[in-house]
Structure 1
Amino acid sequence: MSFRADSIPRRREGADGQRFGEDFVVLDPDGHMLRGLNETASRVWELVDGRRTARDIASVVASEYGVDVERVLGDCLSFLERLLGQGLLDAEVHR
């Protein structure tokens, strides 16, 4: 599966993220850790709620960081693909 702008990502059951000081850690459903998410990546993770599309997520991030939404959308889609490949997300295509 590949994410598109109208895809609705959702966290896999059992996947969770936590902030510990300046670090953001994501646990997969098996308890393996993905560390070192930067501020933008952790914000994307926080916005994945099973209701927002990838474009919605990119729009929020673009607004918060004052950057172009199309640039953020490309980066957001790439990051979501990585999370999908690591078993952290599922996606419903289309809203």
Structure 2
Amino acid sequence: MSFRADSIPRHREGADGQRFGSDFVVMDPEGRMLRGLNDTAARIWELSDGQRTAREISRMVADEYGVDVERVLGDCLRLLERLTGHGLLDAVGGLR
């Protein structure tokens, strides 16, 4: 499964992400803490709610951080792939 710009990511049922002070961690559906996310990755996680495409998420993050949307899109797609590989995300549509 590969995410594309028109893929719509969403949290897998039971997966969760939370801030603990300055740290942001995500947990898989079994409740295991899998990884800490930096601020940008945490924002992508928060926006991956099944309502927006990867491109829309990237545009929002690019606007918030003042960076190029195409650069963010590439990073966003790689992150979505990694989180999916860890069992944290599914896609509503737009997969190849």
Please say whether Structure 1 and Structure 2 have the same fold, judged by a TM-score greater than 0.5. Answer: yes
Q: CA deviation at 1:68?
A: 0.4
The equivalent residue for 1:73 is: 73
> Aligned AA for 1:66?
G
Runs of 4+ in 1 over 4 A off after TM superposition: none
Instruction: Specify the code of the residue in structure 1 equivalent to 2:74.
Output: G
1:43 matched to 2:49? The reply is no
- Tell me the CA shift for residue 32 of structure 1: 1.1
- Contact 1:59–1:69 (Cα < 8 Å) also in 2: yes
Q: Which runs of 5+ in 1 are unaligned?
A: none
TM-score, normalised on structure 2?
Answer: 0.94
Number of equivalent positions: 94
- Identity percentage of aligned residues: 77
The 8 Å contact of residues 25 and 36 in structure 1, kept in 2 or not, is answered as yes
Q: Which runs of 5+ in 2 are unaligned?
A: none
Contact 1:16 1:26 in 2 (8 A): yes
Paired residues of 2:26 and 2:36 also in contact (CA < 8 A): no
User: What is the SS of the residue equivalent to 1:61?
Assistant: helix
Q: What is the aligned-residue RMSD (CA, Å)?
A: 0.8
Please say if residues 23 and 35 of structure 1, whose CA atoms lie closer than 8 Å, have aligned partners that are also in contact. no
TM-score (norm 1): 0.95
